[in-house]
Amino acid sequence: MPLEQRTARLTVLIDPGKKAVFERLCALEDQTPSQVVRRLMREYIEQKLGRPWTPDTSVDDIKRPISE
């Protein structure tokens, strides 16, 4: 299985207070905000695809509308 590449950047604009709370909660769990966001994204992808995410998963694997 190929290793996950971490070369893309995602910019998200959020409320400064929410960012501060998020960063503090991450620090209390000894995780970086990036680690937590990557985990949340992976969980979301797996939930929507209905199967485990792998590094070789691509947008071409999504062939139908994703339901809630």
Which residues are CB-contacts of 6 (< 8 A; sequence separation ≥ 6)? 38
Q: What angle do CA 61, 46, 20 make, to 5 degrees?
A: 125
**21 found inside a domain:** yes
Question: With 70 as the cut, is the pLDDT of residue 14 above it?
Answer: yes
Model confidence, pTM: 0.79
Residue-wise pLDDT tens digits, 22-65: 999 999 999 999 999 999 999 999 998 888 988 888 888 787 66
**64 found inside a domain:** no
Instruction: Answer whether 39's CB lies under 8 Å from 26's CB.
Output: no
Distance between CA 5 and CA 57 in Å, rounded?
12
The pLDDT value given to residue 33: 96
The pLDDT value given to residue 66: 61
**35 found inside a domain:** yes
Assigned token pair, 25: 């909660």
The pLDDT value given to residue 35: 94
Could you tell me the residue range of the domain that residue 36 belongs to? 16-51
**59 found inside a domain:** no
**61 found inside a domain:** no
Number of domains in the chain: 1
**6 found inside a domain:** no
